[in-house]
Amino acid sequence: MTIDEIKDNFALLDEWDDRYRYVIELGRMLAPMSEADHSAENKVQGCASQVWLARTLTHDGGGAQILHYVGDSDAHIVRGLIAILLALYSDKPPQTILETDAVALFEELGLGEHLTPQRSNGFRAMVDRIRRDARETLAAA
């Protein structure tokens, strides 16, 4: 699912309870993450729930670097937040990741005002992790 499809679906849902259920459903649609990827190296620090993000560096047909992500959490709503982040950031070049403001999207979707401060901080920790990966990938190139 693309980030534009997610935004369109959010716009169709008037009630926050429906949006909350939709975020949980997005989490249910995440691709499974291997047990090997549930490692300390992939664990995101700063989240109240357990969160893992694993990246793979690939290249597109023109040789440009592309970061692919898989993610998982032990909390349903957080899995949904991961799904939103992966729709925004996964399979993108590092420079595009750095130029994309996930926190603005978070606010645009109304998530900031409807999630607990702990969940909001966890979302920001996931964004920081992905952006750090992008900076490290660019620096190593």
- pTM of the prediction? 0.93
Whether 109 shows a pLDDT value over 80: the answer reads yes
Show the domain range for 72.
3-140
What band does 40 get if pLDDT is binned at 50, 70 and 90?
A: very high
Q: Quick one: average pLDDT of 111-139?
A: 91
Which CATH number is 90's domain given? 3.90.1010.10
Whether 141 shows a pLDDT value over 80: the answer reads no
> What is the rounded distance in angstroms from the CA atom of residue 42 to the CA atom of residue 21?
27
Closest CA to 90 of 126, 51, 41: 126
Domain count across the chain: 1
Amino acid sitting at position 49: S
Cα four-point dihedral sign 138, 45, 78, 33: positive
> What is the rounded distance in angstroms from the CA atom of residue 90 to the CA atom of residue 131?
11
User: Where in the sequence numbering do the catalytic residues fall?
Assistant: 47
